[in-house]
Amino acid sequence: MSERVITYLEAVREAMSQEMRKNEDVFILGEDIGVYGGAFGVTRGMIEEFGPERVRNTPISEAAIAGTAVGAALTGMRPILEIQFSDFITIAMDQIVNQAAKIRYMYGGKGKVPMVVRLPGGSGTGAAAQHSQSLEAWTAHIPGLKVVQPSTAYDAKGLLKAAMDDDNPVIFYEHKLLYKTSWEVPEEQYSIPLGVADIKREGKDVTIVATGIMVHKALEAARELEKEGIDVEIVDPRTLVPLDKETIINSVKKTGKLIVVHEAVKRGGFGGEIASVVAESEAFDYLDAPIVRLGGKEVPIPYNPNLEKAAIPQVPDIIQAVKETVRFK
């Protein structure tokens, strides 16, 4: 058993480093990831260990980074891309959506694109509208891509291992505000299979399905609600694609109530998918209150720190939604 506590950021770095020591095919590429260590310092120290051949600084072109990675993957490498801010995936979208996601299918499995796209996402750092978005629903919509959203250092390390082992392109969302959070993380390598949700808190009154940083806000809300005798269950899907429907459905069957929370804009967000999965499932007959979605407001993330907070769900919003939902239990 490991007593060791490291940060989310260190867990991501450790997952990459451990794999790169074992597997010569794995390399990382991105903007300023060498001596500078990347925008958030995730790769700091890696160029010293692995050298500039395997920790490659690139020009400032996400399209080029992604295209290079697709080509490298097709020829047998297993690249990891770091996109400085997840917002910039929009520039790499053609390579990711039209090439990476399609090639294995279109060539009948004769080629494959094993690559991991690492994306620091989310708001809360005062980085304003172009550097704070949560666009995971864009990628979750594309068949051929897997989408991962770890909420803890432990999950980040294990899921990144699984992502690197996967023979398909995996979109890996890291939350900027989580980089500094610390958790017990085993030193040895381990893999958390993609498509297995984690019940972060067991409860019986209401199910909250939360993703990314919202898992922590939901946990905080649950601690408050516990004082009032409301017992919240929190399900963290961990991967949006593949989605562990069974865990979500079983939880809703148990509690009869569902709240979905994500930071991404509510309109068109992945919460709609989760709500629909439940409504279409056998859990329907167990629903005892309307499903509630909490998501970002329909505005670009504001620069003003107060407005920035107001634009996404906060703990009091979750508490209020829960109280409303369990009112008739």
Q: Which is nearer to other proteins, 129 or 287 (CB)?
A: 287
d(CA 82, CA 91): 13
Nearest distance in Å: CB 327, other proteins: 8
Q: Which is nearer to other proteins, 53 or 328 (CB)?
A: 328
Nearest distance in Å: CB 250, other proteins: 15
d(CA 19, CA 14): 8
Q: Give the CA-trace dihedral at 218, 84, 77, 186, to 10 degrees.
A: -40
Other beta carbons within 10 Å of 209: 30
| Helical residues (DSSP H) of 238-289, grouped into ranges | 245-255, 270-280
Pair 201, 222: CB distance under 8 Å: yes
Q: Which is nearer to other proteins, 28 or 209 (CB)?
A: 209
Pair 208, 322: CB distance under 8 Å: yes
Tokens representing 105 are 């299918």
d(CA 322, CA 320): 5
Tokens representing 250 are 């079983």
Q: Which is nearer to other proteins, 158 or 256 (CB)?
A: 256
- In the chain, the N- to C-terminal Cα span, in Å, equals 40
Distance of CA 258 to the CA centre of its chain: 21
Nearest distance in Å: CB 247, other proteins: 19
Q: Which is nearer to other proteins, 212 or 256 (CB)?
A: 256
Distance of CA 132 to the CA centre of its chain: 14
Looking at residue 110, its amino acid is K
Nearest distance in Å: CB 285, other proteins: 4
Q: Which is nearer to other proteins, 145 or 259 (CB)?
A: 259
Q: Which is nearer to other proteins, 77 or 287 (CB)?
A: 287
Look-up: residue for tokens 């295209």?
Answer: 67
d(CA 204, CA 216): 19
Look-up: residue for tokens 């990144």?
Answer: 160
Catalytic residue among 131, 175, 216, 262: 131
Nearest distance in Å: CB 212, other proteins: 29
Binding site for other proteins (CB under 8 A): 256, 284-289, 327-329
Nearest distance in Å: CB 286, other proteins: 5
Whether 131 is a known active-site residue: answer yes
Task: Count CA atoms within 13 Å of residue 229 on its CB side.
Answer: 2
d(CA 50, CA 179): 22
Nearest distance in Å: CB 291, other proteins: 11
Kindly list the catalytic residues: 131
